[in-house]
């Protein structure tokens, strides 16, 4: 027997072994399902098939969605509904109570508003950088280059890393005695305490999240670029069209549907930023990199006085913002389908 045959048969038997328990469970489930089929008839079987999934959605998405609204209009510190008195719009009033919209410190719940402003700053900057860098990367990867597969996977690799791992990789580089400060001092500069300066902390929050997620958006744009017919470029080249003109007149308009998807998806993700930055900076220094989701998490779960009502009210507002963005996404997706 040749080696290839051996490995194939080995793999096949390993597969069989793994399939055994699955086969057994499915066989056992066959008995009640057959019985159910006899009772309710074939016509009603699809309901049985979609039931488990819908039950999960019902319990963990739909019910919570309504409960969230209830939480946001009740007060007290209890988790259970029976312990929570109705307070009307008090939670929202508390969140939105500001003497002046421009000055965050005049708000009663200034941590919320800092979260909002930080999130807005983050979203605007992060999404812009994300789009520019993923577009440039996609354009570069779409050229006739050597080892394209290798380069594509290099840019994609960080997407798979967990937010905690991403944050720790960069934290280790950015520490006071880290690699970057070693580099700066070797150039004759001084050490920079990146996590002590608010501006630097925000910069690295943006940088690290772009680093971690850029590959995902690059992939979507690359798929769009590869769908553009090469004939168009050949025709443009024959006409002697300049490269920049080709880019603005052919590439960008034809890439636009994918670009819109990227913009909306990047916005939806950026608004919900939490994991990487929470591990990287902990929201600090002070509240410089504390974002909306961290506010919800801290208010509801991580502070000594767990204020579920306030956290729920804040998440209803976040949900409203996301709803607008998601509707925009659906609108965009439909337009993409039509074109």
Partner 1 sequence: MMSRIASFVLRRRNRRKLHWTDVFTYVYLFLGVALMFGPVVWLVLSSFKTQAALQEFPPTFLPLGQISAEVDGFEDPLPLYSVTMADGTVRELAQIRRIGIMAQMVDPANPQEKLQIPIAGREPVREFRLAIENYTKPLQQFSFFRFLRNSVVVTVGATIITLLINSMAAFGLSIYEFRGRNLTLGFIIGTLMIPITVILVPVFLVVTELGMVNSLWGVILPGAATPTGVFLLRQYMLTIPRDLIDAARMDKASEWSIYWRVVMPLSMPALAVLAIFSVMWRWNEFLWPLVVLTRNEVYTLQLGLNAFQGELQVQWHFVLAMTVVTLLPVTIVFAFLQRFITTGIASSGMK
Which residues, numbered 22-61, are part of the site for partner 1 (CB under 8 A)?
A: 26, 29-30, 33-34, 37, 42-50, 52-54, 56-57, 59-61
Residue 2 lies near partner 1 (rule: CB under 8 A)? no
Interior angle at CA 202, CA 294 and CA 195, nearest 5: 90
- Specify whether the CB–CB gap between 88 and 70 falls below 8 A: no
Residue 246 lies near partner 1 (rule: CB under 8 A)? no
CA distance 268 to 272: 7
> Would you state the structure tokens that stand for residue 135, as one six-digit string?
């577009």
Residue 132 lies near partner 1 (rule: CB under 8 A)? no
Distances in Å between the alpha carbon of 69 and those of 77, 124, 151, 155?
A: 16, 29, 47, 41
- Specify whether the CB–CB gap between 296 and 307 falls below 8 A: no
Question: How many chain residues bind partner 1 (CB under 8 A)?
Answer: 97
Place of tokens 């309504």: 66
Please, what is the minimum distance in Å from the beta carbon of residue 160 to partner 1?
Answer: 5
For residues 63-102, which are near partner 1 according to CB under 8 A?
63-68, 71, 79-81
Residue 161 lies near partner 1 (rule: CB under 8 A)? yes
Alpha-helix residue ranges (DSSP H) falling in the chain? 3-40, 45-57, 63-72, 90-96, 110-141, 148-160, 163-174, 179-186, 198-226, 230-238, 243-246, 252-271, 275-280, 292-297, 308-338
What binding mask, one character per residue, do residues 191-230 give for partner 1 by CB under 8 A, x or -?
--------------------x----x--xx-xx-------
Interior angle at CA 152, CA 329 and CA 121, nearest 5: 45
- Closer by beta carbon to partner 1, 113 or else 155: 155
Please, what is the minimum distance in Å from the beta carbon of residue 93 to partner 1?
Answer: 18
Please, what is the minimum distance in Å from the beta carbon of residue 110 to partner 1?
Answer: 21
Residue 143 lies near partner 1 (rule: CB under 8 A)? yes
- Closer by beta carbon to partner 1, 20 or else 153: 153
Q: Residues 129, 203, 256, 297: which binds partner 1 (CB under 8 A)?
A: 297
- Closer by beta carbon to partner 1, 49 or else 100: 49
For residues 307-336, which are near partner 1 according to CB under 8 A?
308, 311-312, 315-316, 318-319, 322-323, 326
């Amino acid at each position: 027997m040749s080696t290839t045959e051996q490995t194939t048969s080995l793999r096949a038997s390993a597969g069989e072994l793994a399939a055994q328990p699955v086969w057994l469970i499915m066989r056992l489930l066959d008995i009640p399902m057959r019985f159910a089929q006899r009772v309710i008839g074939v016509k009603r079987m699809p309901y049985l098939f979609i039931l488990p999934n819908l039950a999960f959605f019902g319990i963990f998405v739909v019910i919570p969605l309504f409960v969230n609204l209830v939480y946001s209009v009740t007060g007290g510190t209890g988790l259970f509904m029976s312990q929570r008195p109705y307070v009307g719009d008090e939670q929202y009033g508390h969140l939105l109570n500001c003497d002046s919209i421009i000055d965050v410190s005049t708000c009663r719940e200034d941590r919320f508003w800092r979260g909002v402003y930080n999130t807005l700053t983050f979203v605007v900057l992060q999404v812009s950088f994300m789009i520019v860098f993923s577009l440039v990367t996609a354009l570069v990867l779409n050229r006739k280059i050597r080892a394209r597969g290798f380069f594509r996977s290099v840019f994609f690799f960080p997407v798979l890393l967990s937010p905690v791992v991403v944050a720790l990789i960069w934290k280790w580089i950015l520490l006071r005695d880290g690699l970057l400060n070693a580099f700066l001092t070797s150039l004759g500069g001084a050490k920079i305490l990146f996590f002590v300066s608010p501006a630097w902390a925000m910069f690295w929050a943006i940088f690290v999240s772009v680093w971690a997620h850029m590959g995902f958006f690059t992939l979507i744009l690359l798929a769009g670029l590869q769908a553009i017919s090469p004939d168009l470029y050949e025709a443009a080249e024959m006409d002697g069209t300049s490269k920049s003109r080709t880019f603005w007149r052919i590439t960008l308009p034809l890439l636009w549907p994918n670009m819109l998807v990227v913009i909306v998806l990047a916005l939806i993700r950026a608004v919900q930023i939490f994991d990487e930055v929470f591990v990287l900076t902990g929201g600090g220094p002070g509240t410089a990199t504390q974002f909306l989701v961290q506010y919800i998490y801290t208010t509801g779960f991580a502070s000594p006085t767990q204020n579920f009502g306030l956290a729920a009210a804040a998440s209803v507002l976040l949900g409203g913002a996301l709803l607008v963005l998601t509707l925009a996404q659906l609108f965009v997706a439909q337009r993409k389908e039509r074109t």
